[in-house]
Structure 1
Amino acid sequence: MLLANYHTHTARCRHAWGEDKEYVENAIQEGMKVLGFSDHCPWIFPKDYVSHTRMEPQELDGYFYALEALRQEYARDITIYIGFESEYIPELMEEQNQLLDGYPVDYMILGEHFTASEVTGPYTGFPTESEQDLEKYVDLCIAGMETGKYVYVAHPDLIHYTGPDEIYEEHMERLCRYLKGKDIPVEINLLGVVEKRHYTSERFLKIAQRIGNSAIIGCDAHTPDRLSNPEYIQTCLDLAQRFGLPVVDFLPGLMPKA
């Protein structure tokens, strides 16, 4: 059984499906005590650019209004937290912070999908043999976590480095050591595992095992059923056990209230 999931999207991101309530009810069906919504956070982009992977800034009011209503409606059944998944892009942070100022954001997770603005890309999940890209990705993940803004790194091995294993291990070991030192779990990403993407990879989990990291299961739910499929969830739990990674049930400060 998965007691909590902090990696949940909504249809507002334009590549997820289902009603907000369906996500809540599926989490309750699984027996979860905590459900964290962390849809892709909006940015202030140039006016002529429209993102197809995240909500627009004008959707923030509706996001919080709808989820706060569900939090009250299901308070006896599950604890709901409202947050975001977001990149750490230093040159854009001031405007994003201003955008979110005044909203009751419970938490954020770091998902470094781009190492620059989404407008210029590229997506970090595209294959690359560039050590420079790998190094920049790890540097940004560490720098982002150092801000204290994010509770953990979503799909930490999203960077799709296809070069020599020794270079991959050098940089990803640096990330794992940092997370271990801060007592931050590495995410085993259910979406990546069940869709057989390049993440969560065994080569990454071998590094985490060697360093002694703990793990958290992140459903990365883009459809409600990903929160209540026991076979998918067990596959991720089995991965953690196979590589000797203790699974964290709840994040500090984001515990069940009921």
Structure 2
Amino acid sequence: MYCDYHTHTPLCLHASGTPQEYVQSAVRAGLREYGISDHAPMPSEPFDDWRMKQADMPAYLDWLAEARELAAPHGLTVRTALECDWFPGIEPWIEHLRSLHGWDYLIGSVHYLGEKEEFDNPYKMDFWNRTAVEDAWTQYWERYRDMAASGLFQIMGHADLIKKFGFRPAGDLRPYYEPALEAIRESGACLELNTAGWRNKCAEQYPDAQFLNMAAEMGIPLTISSDAHKPEDVGRDFEQAAELARQAGFRHLATFNAGRMELFPLPGA
């Protein structure tokens, strides 16, 4: 049985479904834990059109409470979280978000470069028309390394999201990966194997097999997640992801409760 810790709600404005539909999907998928981790608000608003606003937080807490109530008769554990975007200097805001609720974990993600450049938005592909792939990758991985080094997050979200549209530098990618992996290991955070990449143009999980192999060699913990934005994607492609994890050398997956991580055996390992 798996835990799916990266899922969303309609409050982020680009997801669909009710608490009941998500819980039912998690039960059908045979999950042991269903984690809700919608896109966290940002300090300045309006910021973008695909995240919760600050005023939505009470409604989000109500959504979490309803999901827990619906899940209880099925023996399904619901975990509560936020997916937080990383920017230089964002640390005080993350601490503020942490104080709003007794979250089980926080996911750290990088969706923006520069001041406010969206590199993974299909409606803003002009970024890739005016940005060299090597420059984007360099900035992305520097930002990802700094996010991991902050120690503010339990889970490192979709590590190589920068490849979403298939743009990669030529040659060995290890120099991009190694500093970020060192920071993840030093922080004690968990890496996410995110199946959503199979549903995007890159047609590959996040992160790639090389990154997974390096993480396993370094003893970094792992969790598998769907990044579901609709109920039917909860737990999607987990057996395929688990096989990749086993091939990389992982033997356990991580679970979270009130910020504390524990490991359980990876099924089939």
Number of equivalences: 248
2:180 counterpart SS class: helix
Of 168, 171, 177, 1:172 maps to 177
Of 144, 155, 167, 2:147 maps to 144
Distance in 1, matches of 2:103 and 2:194, equals 23
Per the alignment, do residues 6 and 192 of structure 1 end up closer, same or farther by CA in structure 2, a change over 3 Å counting?
Answer: same
What is residue 7 of structure 1 aligned with on the other side? 6
Structure 1, 21-30 or 137-146: larger mean CA deviation: 137-146
Distance in 2, matches of 1:132 and 1:157, equals 15
Of 119, 124, 132, 1:123 maps to 119
Distance in 2, matches of 1:97 and 1:208, equals 27
2:161 counterpart SS class: coil
Per the alignment, do residues 254 and 27 of structure 1 end up closer, same or farther by CA in structure 2, a change over 3 Å counting?
Answer: farther
Among the aligned pairs, what percent are the same residue? 24
Per the alignment, do residues 98 and 176 of structure 1 end up closer, same or farther by CA in structure 2, a change over 3 Å counting?
Answer: closer
Distance in 1, matches of 2:170 and 2:68, equals 47
What is residue 55 of structure 1 aligned with on the other side? 52
Residue 5 of structure 2 aligns with an amino acid whose one-letter code is Y
Gaps of 5+ in 1: none
Per-residue deviation, 1:27: 1.2
Of 191, 195, 198, 1:193 maps to 198
Distance in 1, matches of 2:249 and 2:149, equals 26
- Is the CA contact 2:13–2:50 (under 8 Å) kept in the aligned structure 1? yes
Structure 1, 15-24 or 96-105: larger mean CA deviation: 96-105
- Is the CA contact 1:35–1:81 (under 8 Å) kept in the aligned structure 2? yes
Distance in 1, matches of 2:94 and 2:218, equals 34
Distance in 1, matches of 2:155 and 2:93, equals 22
Residue 121 of structure 1 aligns with an amino acid whose one-letter code is E
Per the alignment, do residues 211 and 101 of structure 1 end up closer, same or farther by CA in structure 2, a change over 3 Å counting?
Answer: closer
Per the alignment, do residues 95 and 205 of structure 1 end up closer, same or farther by CA in structure 2, a change over 3 Å counting?
Answer: closer
Q: CA RMSD in A?
A: 2.9
Residue 32 of structure 1 aligns with an amino acid whose one-letter code is L
Residue 119 of structure 2 aligns with an amino acid whose one-letter code is Y
Pairing 1:69-218 to 2, within 5 Å after superposition: 69-76=66-73, 77-95=75-93, 97-98=95-96, 101-116=99-114, 120-123=116-119, 129-160=132-163, 162-166=168-172, 168-195=173-200, 197=202, 199-200=205-206, 201-209=208-216, 211=218, 213-218=220-225
- Is the CA contact 1:138–1:172 (under 8 Å) kept in the aligned structure 2? yes
- Is the CA contact 1:37–1:84 (under 8 Å) kept in the aligned structure 2? yes
Per-residue deviation, 1:36: 1.2
The TM-score with structure 1 as length reference comes to: 0.81
Per the alignment, do residues 250 and 224 of structure 1 end up closer, same or farther by CA in structure 2, a change over 3 Å counting?
Answer: same
Per-residue deviation, 1:182: 4.3
Gaps of 5+ in 2: 122-126, 263-269
- Is the CA contact 1:40–1:84 (under 8 Å) kept in the aligned structure 2? yes
- Is the CA contact 2:148–2:180 (under 8 Å) kept in the aligned structure 1? no
Higher percent of residues as strand: 2
Per the alignment, do residues 178 and 169 of structure 1 end up closer, same or farther by CA in structure 2, a change over 3 Å counting?
Answer: same
The TM-score with structure 2 as length reference comes to: 0.78
1:75 counterpart SS class: helix
1:251 counterpart SS class: strand
Per the alignment, do residues 216 and 165 of structure 1 end up closer, same or farther by CA in structure 2, a change over 3 Å counting?
Answer: farther
- Is the CA contact 1:186–1:213 (under 8 Å) kept in the aligned structure 2? yes
